[in-house]
Chain A
Amino acid sequence: MTNERPSGHEQQKPLLEITNLKKYFPIEKGLLRRVVGYVRAVDDVSLSVYRGKTMGLVGESGSGKTTLAHCVLRAYDLTEGEIIFRPGDQEYRLNELEAKELRQVRPHMQMIFQDPYSSLDPRKTVYDIVSEPLRLNGATRDAALDQRVRDLLEAVGLDYRHMKRYPHAFSGGQRQRVGIARALALNPALIVCDEPVSALDVSVQAQILNLLSDLQAQLNLTYLFIAHNLRVIQHICDDVAVMYVGKLMERARTDDLFRNPRHPYTEALLSAIPIPDPDRPLPEQGLEGELPDPANPPPGCYFHPRCRYAQAICQVEAPPWLETEPQHFSRCHFARELPLQGSI
């Protein structure tokens, strides 16, 4: 696999370095649970996330982006590969940590969830929810904790006087703010955002995205941002990685990817972005067909059955990870020559 350590970005080492990560889920059958195959949810992914930056992960549902995030958080054990995490001065090899050590690393990485309803315990007050990570890490219920919870709530734009309320008193957007406050409580280095706005009203989405950007600027946060909405990605991400059936298809700076996509799958995704203009004709090249079964992917390039540029070689040979320009990688045989259309 081509090394993709970027040159232009920063001299510093990345906060999160994923190398050749694989996560296969066994398919079991029958009474004895015999393993008859594997779902390759994440298949040989390498990715680096730098401090203070936002790395976007985009793909259709079932492409493995959430599985990848769960591997980073070690909610799953890896099948293969290495994850290096460098909060502060330490360096942790997440793939090697045992449960006990893992509990010490976890405060450095937190998560913002997709569903603002299942992410807050309905039986706890906002105060309890936001202070829980602190209390789990040694804080006691005292004035200092009260003050910290107030600060956190104010930082995410909530009225601290509402901290004795229960989640049922809040709207989806407000609940998501509570979830963000909880994720911030421990001053984490990395926050994994798993589709944090896809369950919200469009009018609220922008507010939450702006809040995330502001917080990033203030607190020098690093986001691993999962989304299927490219407009959201464009709004908030510095870099984007496009996933398809567990593999990375393309990786580039956000502007680059939108202006000059180097993979037919990315082009198809970009063309599918709805444009709120009734006079504009509908996009002509939508994506047809279904995502292949990750337990039984097609030979050659995984995307070839749906690709409008597919040639004979695409059905036989898996494409290499090509660097078409500095900082721009694509997994396509014709990454350099295809005339692909971007979007602004």
Chain B
Amino acid sequence: MSDERKSSPSPTLARRKKDELTAEERFFAASQWELMWRKFRKHKLALASGVVLIFLYAIAVTFEFWAPYGPISEQGLINMRPTRIHFRNEEGKFVGPFVYGIEQVVDMETFKRVPVEDKDVTYPIRFFVHAEPYKLWGLFETDRHFFGAGEGKVLLVGTDELGRDLFSRILAGSRISLSVGVVGVAISLVLGSFFGGIAGYYGSWADLIISRAIEFIGSIPNLPLWMLLASIIPLDWPVVRVYFMTTIIISLLTWVGLARVVRSLLLQLRTMDYVKAAQLAGASDMRLIIDHLLPGMLSYLIVQVTIAIPNTILAETALSFLGLGMRPPAVSWGVLLRAAQNVQNIVLRPWMLAPAIVVIVTIFVFNFVGDGLRDAADPYK
């Protein structure tokens, strides 16, 4: 070995060797989360989905800024198809993005409203424009929007039957739809950890009773029960109360999945020799839970939560679609999709289905991230 070092041809080789050594040492001293991150990073699709997910939630939190219009302000153009955005003027010269003035004319033969572009009026699309005022998080009053066309109408995915901008409404709906997932799963997690924890940790008859209860709840068909429970919500309740009621109703059925996971993880961890060793050294139940059982479960729980969130989002969408969850004037993706109950809309105004695409993308993204996390959750295998 010493010979090798002496005859080492260049100092760079020696340095590289040293780098490798420290890299190895870093790996040996890498905690569970570092190892998980290393593994997750290799899953490119999950990584990209994670970025998209952060982006989606960032928009949901601040949609007022990104949306060109308010979610309930009417634009005067009813059931409009998406606006065409032009880059070249009549002479074919590039002038940047703009829209023409637009008017709806009733075609006297078909009695349909037909949009007609007025090529004499152009409205350039600008960024960070002043438009409809709003109050972000009920705190900051401003009228800045990410983009807009001044007096012109830029309707990226068209309007609904009241002339409201669908793009703005989809962004607005993300706040309820995406947060229902998180809040609902948080409630499920509390319920699931509590009951699953008791069943898994104490075992015997507590486990017997809770396991049977879980099986019973799991055997109830979800949708009918949700519908039954949701139909109890009074029609005159304010949006916020309906929101929380809907979330609680959804989590009442979804917690069992998490409880099962917590229970089986605990049963498995309790048999590990290192738990026994801690017990033999005099650890109390509390210490065992805090030092060994919770840290042992955490990564798996994060995976389960990531997988449970899209299901909750779908549940909210389904309930709202059926008119039993959120209802107007609240805006959620399920509420927006009620337009798709109308066959005319599907045939003549396919842009009304845009919210479905957003839902699908969200679910996919969540599942990819969940996949990546699941692979990374146990870096010791």
Contacts and interface: CB of A to CB of B under 8 A. Distances in A.
Contacts of A106: 279-282
B178 to A, nearest CB: 31
Contact of A132 (B29, B35, B278): B278
Given A118-B273, A118-B274, A121-B274, A132 B28 contact: no
B282 A133 contact: yes
A137 B283 CA distance: 9
Contacts of A246: none
A119 B278 CA distance: 10
Residue among B29, B32, B277 with the highest chain A CB neighbour number at 10 A: B277
A47 B283 CA distance: 29
Interface string A108-121: 01110111001111
Contacts of B30: 166
Interface in B254-285: 272-274, 276-284
A119 B274 contact: yes
Nearest to A105: B282
B277 A111 contact: yes
Contacts of B277: 110-111, 113, 119, 132, 179, 182
A165 interface: yes
B209 to A, nearest CB: 12
B110 interface: no
Interface in B8-51: 27-32, 35
A166 B281 contact: no
Nearest to A109: B280
Interface in A68-112: 73, 75, 103-104, 106-107, 109-111
A104 B379 CA distance: 36
A164 B278 CA distance: 19
Dominant SS among interface residues on chain B: helix
A123 interface: yes
Contacts of A182: 277, 281
Contacts of B282: 103-104, 106-107, 133, 136-137
B287 A136 contact: yes
B280 A111 contact: yes
A339 interface: no
B380 interface: yes
A169 B292 CA distance: 19
A132 B283 CA distance: 9
Contacts of A26: none
Given A136-B281, A136-B283, A137-B282, A123 B31 contact: yes
B296 interface: yes
Given A106-B281, A107-B282, A118 B28 contact: no
Contacts of B276: 75, 111, 113
Contacts of B133: none
B238 to A, nearest CB: 45
Contacts of A123: 31-32, 295-296
Most B C-beta atoms less than 10 A away, residue of A103, A104, A114, A164: A103
A310 interface: no
Nearest to A164: B29
B131 to A, nearest CB: 52
Interface in A132-181: 132-133, 136-137, 162, 164-166, 168-169, 179
Contacts of B281: 106-107, 110, 132-133, 136-137, 182, 185-186
A185 B281 CA distance: 10
A122 interface: yes
Contacts of A73: 280
A29 B355 CA distance: 54
A133 B277 CA distance: 9
A158 to B, nearest CB: 13
Given A73-B280, A164-B29, 12 more contacts: A75-B276, A103-B282, A106-B279, A110-B280, A113-B276, A121-B295, A121-B296, A123-B32, A125-B29, A136-B278, A136-B283, A179-B277
Interface of B: 27-32, 35, 272-274, 276-284, 287, 291-292, 295-296, 379-380
25 contacts: A75-B276, A75-B279, A75-B280, A103-B282, A104-B282, A106-B279, A106-B281, A111-B277, A113-B273, A119-B272, A119-B273, A120-B274, A121-B292, A122-B32, A123-B296, A132-B281, A136-B283, A137-B281, A137-B282, A162-B28, A164-B29, A165-B29, A169-B28, A185-B281, A186-B281
**Closest 7 CB pairs between A and B?**
A169-B28, A133-B281, A119-B273, A113-B273, A121-B274, A165-B28, A118-B273
